[in-house]
């Protein structure tokens, strides 16, 4: 079958309701005020898909929505960024997911209603869908119980069909971190946790121990570490990429997903690991210059303008 798309994203779908400029964290029984509110496309997977499409890759999406206004907002947002939505399904048994974000500069607190995202399952990603794309990407596996229980089978199928693969595990709300990396990673070309997630998955207390843990694996193991940059173990050696520092961070929502988008964009072009790391660091930093996960990725010209004016980087 002819490959219609560069990337198939299998993931959660929700809106983000972002509250900015909050004086202090709320306390039980008390009320605080936010000076700004934004309703925007949420979910790590959708932010990744949207921003990767803006960079120039052709992207299709497999996910589930409810029949509601939030679902329509998500569809229109993805379509506006050029993401194919033909593989997105609707369910009458769940509402569309939503996340409320209390944003504090470079950190945040979040409450998520999973909704329809919890109903997505392996049966919803048949071989016919996978054969449409060159690459499979999954984010937020812990928010998708239907996918997580068959995550090894999903990636095994993708590799058998000739796709390259990547996964960003994201945070586990239950904090049990029940993900069998030794079973999964032989079918993963690029694994993309951040440093906190990796420490939890490896069950170690510090980054040096976590970086030592990844040396047992053969695939590309990327570790995002915020303003400290990112590391990559390629099966033989460790690479480091400095961060592109933004001195006026608007918010960091979606910065890791935008890093993933930049990294995978270059990976699809068969660039060197260091080039993938550098571009991922750039797109993650560009993300922090606007509100929400997609605000800085309205179009490619805006991304290039921000890269040049804020980070002295041209592409």
Tokens 């990337």 appear where?
Answer: 7
Map out the domains of the chain as residue ranges.
5-13+44-95+118-311
- Average pLDDT of 139-161? 97
Asked if residue 103 has pLDDT above 80, the reply is no
Q: What is the pLDDT of residue 20?
A: 84
Q: Which two tokens mark 148?
A: 């997580």
- Check pLDDT > 70 for residue 181: yes
Q: Which whole number is the average pLDDT over 272-292?
A: 96
**pLDDT confidence of residue 108:** 74
Instruction: Give percent of the chain with pLDDT exceeding 70.
Output: 99
Instruction: Give the model's confidence band at 23: pLDDT under 50 very low, under 70 low, under 90 confident, else very high.
Output: confident
* Rounded distance between C-alpha atoms, residue 126 and residue 131, angstroms: 9
Report residue 105's pLDDT band, with 50, 70 and 90 as the boundaries: low
- In this prediction, residue 122 carries a pLDDT of 96
d(CA 256, CA 192): 9
Q: How far apart are CA 214 and CA 82, in angstroms?
A: 35
Q: What is the CATH number of domain 5-13+44-95+118-311?
A: 3.40.1190.20
**pLDDT greater than 80 at residue 100:** yes
Q: What is the pLDDT of residue 219?
A: 86
Q: CA–CA separation, 294 vs 123, rounded Å? A: 30
pLDDT for 185 equals 95
When mean pLDDT is compared across 46-55, 105-114, 260-269, the lowest value belongs to: 105-114
Q: How many CB atoms lie within 10 A of CB 65?
A: 25
Q: Which two tokens stand for residue 187?
A: 């079918």
Residues 6+ apart with CB under 8 A from 179: 141, 142, 148, 151, 169, 172, 201
Say if CB 200 and CB 177 are below 8 A apart: yes
% of the chain beyond a pLDDT of 90: 86
- Out of 18-27, 112-121, 260-269, the most confident range is 260-269
pLDDT tens across 108-135, in order? 788 989 999 999 999 999 999 999 999 9
Q: What is the pLDDT of residue 149?
A: 95
- Give the contacts of 45 (CB within 8 A, at least 6 positions apart): 9, 10, 11, 12, 13, 61, 63, 137, 138, 139, 140, 257
- Asked whether the predicted pLDDT for residue 237 surpasses 90, the reply is yes
The pLDDT of residue 107 is 66
**pLDDT, tens digit (0-9, with 9 covering 90-100), for 188-230:** 999 999 999 999 999 999 999 999 999 999 889 999 999 999 9
């Amino acid at each position: 079958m002819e490959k219609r798309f560069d990337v198939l994203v299998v993931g959660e779908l929700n809106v983000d309701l972002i509250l900015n400029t909050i004086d202090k964290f709320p306390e039980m029984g008390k009320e605080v005020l936010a000076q700004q509110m934004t309703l925007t496309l949420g979910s790590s997977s959708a932010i990744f898909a949207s921003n990767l499409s803006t960079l120039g890759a052709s992207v299709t999406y497999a996910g589930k929505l409810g029949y509601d206004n939030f679902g329509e907002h998500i569809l229109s947002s993805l379509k506006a960024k050029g993401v194919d939505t033909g593989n997105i399904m609707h369910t009458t048994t769940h509402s569309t997911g939503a996340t409320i974000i209390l944003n504090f500069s470079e950190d945040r607190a979040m409450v998520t209603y999973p909704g329809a995202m919890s109903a997505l399952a392996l049966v919803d990603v048949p071989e016919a869908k996978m054969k449409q794309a060159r690459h499979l990407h999954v984010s937020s596996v812990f928010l998708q119980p239907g996918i997580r229980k068959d995550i090894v089978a999903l990636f095994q199928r993708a590799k058998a069909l000739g796709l390259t693969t990547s996964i960003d595990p994201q945070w586990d709300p239950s904090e049990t971190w029940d993900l069998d990396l030794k079973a999964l990673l032989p079918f993963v070309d690029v694994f993309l946790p951040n440093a906190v997630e990796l420490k939890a998955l490896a069950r170690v207390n510090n980054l040096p121990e976590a970086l030592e843990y990844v040396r047992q694996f053969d695939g590309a193991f990327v570790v995002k570490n915020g303003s400290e940059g990112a590391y990559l173990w390629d099966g033989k050696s460790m690479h480091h990429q400095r961060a592109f520092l933004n001195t006026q961070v608007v918010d960091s929502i979606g910065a890791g997903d935008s890093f993933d988008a930049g990294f995978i964009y270059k990976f699809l072009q068969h660039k060197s690991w260091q080039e993938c790391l550098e571009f991922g660091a750039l797109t993650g930093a560009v993300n922090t210059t606007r509100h929400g996960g997609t605000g800085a990725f309205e179009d490619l010209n805006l991304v290039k303008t921000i890269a040049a004016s804020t980070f002295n980087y041209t592409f």
